[in-house]
Amino acid sequence: MAFATKIKLKGDVHQYRLNPEIKLFTLKDLNFETTRNGNFEYQHALNASSPYLKNAIKIKITINQDLENFKMAIVDGSGLKIVDIFSSDKFSNEKEQFDFLMHTLMLRKVLLRD
């Protein structure tokens, strides 16, 4: 997946973009890790009962080093296959965790929702 200025996840009705007020220290506070390329990456399981399960559905967010573009995906436990948590009630817990995380990222001025 390539870096983009706006991202719409599979099945979601909302579109997300980076907040122009994003700060580097905020990313570090939110546990974004710096990659070898200088990008900032965040991975978190969306399983409310145990975020440490190997096969838990995860959210992956990568922000490039100039804080202009980003990638975001909801993937399976292997991190390779895109998962649609929005079109089925089967993933209601994961969707609730996703909504909580997005709300936090919007409050901390990392993302904006269109």
Would 75 be classed as within a structural domain? yes
The arithmetic mean of pLDDT across residues 65-89, rounded, is 93
Residues 7, 95 contacting (CB under 8 angstroms): no
Nearest to 75 by CA among 53, 50, 45, 97: 45
Question: Taking 70 as the threshold, does the pLDDT of residue 51 lie above it?
Answer: no
- Residue 27: pLDDT above 80? yes
Question: What percent of the chain shows pLDDT beyond 70?
Answer: 96
Query: Can you give the pLDDT at residue 53?
Result: 74
Question: pTM for the complete prediction?
Answer: 0.91
Average pLDDT over every residue of 75-104: 93
Fill in the DSSP letter of residue 90. G
- pLDDT band at residue 52 under the 50/70/90 scheme: low
How many angstroms separate the CA atoms of 37 and 15, rounded?
A: 26
In a domain, 1, yes or no: no
Beta partners for 43?
60
73 domain-assigned: yes
Residue 39 sits in which domain range? Answer: 6-113
* 65: its two tokens: 């080093």
